[in-house]
Amino acid sequence: MAPLFKLCLPALLLSVSIAAQAEDKTLNLYSWADYVAPDTLQRFEKETGIHVRYDTFDTSEVLETKLLTGGSGYDVVVPSSSVLARGLAAGALKEIPHERLKGYANLDPDLLEKLAAVDPGNRYGVPYTWGTLGLGMNVEAVKQRLPDVPLNSLDLLFKPEFASKLKDCGIAILDSPQEVIGLALHYLGKDPYSTDKNDLAAAEALLQKLQPSVLYVATGRQISDLANGSVCLALTYNGDASMAADQARKANKPFEVAYRIPKEGTLVWQDNLAIPKDAPHPEAARAFIEFMLRPESVAALTNTLFFATANQAATPLVDEAVRNDPDIYPKPEVRERLYADRSMSLKDMRQRTRLWTTFRSHQ
């Protein structure tokens, strides 16, 4: 049998080699739903011959668990800056040397600087999209109930005499303890990432005053509910509110949905492209990131989901109405009032989660 085995061995090795080459032409992407325009993926596959397998997650926590556990099989993931920081601390990410990364010079220096606070030297994350946490609203409904209150103020939420007047038309709060508690702290003039017990007690008291006026705490529902008029005020992401506004316009709703960045300042969030340390196809991952650094690759995403791109060279390709919207692309003086997403220890996050659970338990 030995001679026969020797005859079969070259064919076997050839088969294994062909299989390996086919596997090398695959990219496993793990991201939010619709976070890459379909025609962009098609162009990448056609140009490179690399097939993209696109899996999605619906919360950052799901991504973080897979990233920190390891062995996910993904080549490119899209973490927020805080998730990136925890992945970096756990040694779960592969370095992406940007000196040789084509298109890296297109990135916004301000966003790179903010990311450097959690990724020194910008060695592991490549900024992708960014936006703010703020106020999505049914303009007519809010003005009818509060005609003299500025629409760009967190007073709408955090002053009980205002929030109570919006209770009947519906207030929705994003289900994100770190972000919402941080915003409450910021509104009170405190560090959004404070761990001081007195500061957190003050934030808890502020949220308790808001709680009776809140219809629900959830993630994802705000888009359709703002668009169809089920809620009149939502603490949500700018892109979600802008998608709701787009849906309301297309449905010829008799009201305007708008988004406002709070004048008091707010969180500027940032999503980034990253490569897990055990990515099976690191070269394909790098090719994909370079492709997404092309202006035309990300402009299509901004035109669809209304999240600003971190790629400055892409801005001229963004629809004029979008790139000139100051609540999507805020002016420099507004950006100065925005604080960056930052990582917190598990101990401090658990402290906020307990506070949040109490707030949510009344819903």
Q: What is the CATH number of domain 132-267+343-361?
A: 3.40.190.10
DSSP assignments along 106-168, one per residue: GB-HHHHHHHHTTSGGG-S-EEEEEEEEEEEEEHHHHHHH-TTS-TT-THHHH-HHHHHHHGG
For residues 146 and 143, what is the distance between their CA atoms, to the nearest angstrom?
Answer: 5
The tokens for 160 are 């009980």
Are domains 26-129+270-330 and 132-267+343-361 of this chain identical in fold?
yes
Predicted TM-score (pTM) of the model is 0.85
Q: What residues contact 87, with CB distance under 8 A and at least 6 apart?
A: 64, 67, 68, 79, 93, 124, 274
Sorted by where each begins, the domain ranges of the chain are: 26-129+270-330, 132-267+343-361
Tens digit of each residue's pLDDT, the chain (363 residues): 444 444 444 444 444 334 444 456 899 999 999 999 889 999 999 999 999 999 999 888 899 999 999 999 999 999 999 999 999 999 999 999 998 899 999 999 999 999 999 999 999 999 999 999 999 999 999 999 999 999 999 999 999 999 999 999 999 999 999 999 999 999 999 999 999 999 999 999 999 999 999 999 998 899 999 999 999 999 999 999 999 999 999 999 999 999 999 999 999 999 999 999 999 999 999 999 999 999 999 999 999 889 999 999 999 999 999 999 999 999 999 999 999 888 888 889 899 999 999 998 876
Q: CA gyration radius for the chain?
A: 23
Overall fold of domain 26-129+270-330: D-Maltodextrin-Binding Protein; domain 2 (3.40.190)
Q: Which residues contact 237 (CB under 8 A, 6 or more apart)?
A: 131, 132, 133, 134, 174, 269, 307
State how far the Cα of 193 lies from the Cα of 341, in Å rounded to an integer: 9
pLDDT of res. 345: 85
**What pLDDT is recorded for position 100?**
85
Provide the 8-state DSSP code for 278. T
8 A C-beta contact, residue 89 and residue 70: no
Q: What is the pLDDT of residue 19?
A: 40
